[in-house]
Amino acid sequence: MRLRSATLPPLLTALFWTSASTLTWPAPAQGIPPEDSLAALLRREAITYENGEGVPRDPILAATLYCKSARLGDPQAQYNLGWMYANGRGVERNDLAAAYFFQAAADQGLEGAQRMLKVVGVPQRSEVPECLREPTPPAPVPTPAAPPVEVAVAQSAVDYRGIAPRHVFDLVMKMAPLYKVEPQLALAIIAAESNFNSRAISPKNAQGLMQLMPETSERFHVKNPFDPVQNIRGGLSYLRWLLAYFGGDVALVAAAYNAGEGKVERYRGIPPYIETRAYVQRILKSVGATHHPFDANVTQASALAWTRMPWRVQ
């Protein structure tokens, strides 16, 4: 879809031709980055170069800085960059790229981006802007002394024996191996999701220890998500499926558990959301490894898993 501003209603035309950095939008649902964060610093620097505030105006540099901030999950930077692509300001006009950046910001609750999606349309999955793509690690050169394909989870810096309630810890230690899930990963997910509160309910109606959405409970035959045994069983079943689907990539598994596997597929990696990126870092730190053994018989692996890890053969 090629957008022509001449065909837009007057209000939308005004939105397009007003500098995005001068607009004030409601705070996104998942929060904005702290003002001293790298994402916020990059965004503010981009604004100065976009508008020439105390520096020579440089829209190309502004777009580059916005892109770095957008990849870190800053919804305001994502919106501003979407606006630049929609109007061809400092970058070549690209409605598909604009839609992707607007979608990323809209997913985090930015109302202005949600409105702009109605103008530029919903992005296509195959058109992910370069700066939102996760870098693909180079495949190592196979050698006779190459390490095993599956890498065991390393010792974590977090010891949940002194954090988790004893009955929850014991349940996870007993049940996780039955689902071929490392207990440390399951405990990290529980800690991040509910802080070990079996009665927890999120604003989106995720329930119980592992914060199962109603559709996830139904998918894995959980009748009572507030029962610790059933909830952990459902969460472990989902983790086992995610591990198989994403080829044991802990970062993708964590991102999918937080944002959904569809969002991970759309962005070909960790979605550019502040909350999801912080969540992934927390899980990686708790688990202590980037790869986890998985059962390839559970489900067919995502094409994304093989793109990111072409050397992993099951």
- Which are the catalytic amino acids? 193
Q: What is the number of other CB atoms lying within 10 angstroms of the CB of residue 56?
A: 7
Residues 6+ apart with CB under 8 A from 254: 189, 279, 280, 283, 284
State whether the Cα torsion 221-226-229-235 is positive or negative.
Answer: positive
End-to-end CA distance of the chain: 41
Q: What is the number of other CB atoms lying within 10 angstroms of the CB of residue 144?
A: 4
Which residue blocks in 144-249 are alpha helix, DSSP H?
166-175, 183-194, 214-219, 228-245
Contact 306, 137 (CB under 8 A): no
Contact 27, 134 (CB under 8 A): no
Residues 6+ apart with CB under 8 A from 232: 168, 171, 172, 175, 186, 190, 209, 210
Q: What is the rounded CA–CA span in Å between residue 42 and residue 34?
A: 12
Measuring CA to CA, how many Å separate 140 from each of 100, 185, 311? Answer: 32, 26, 7
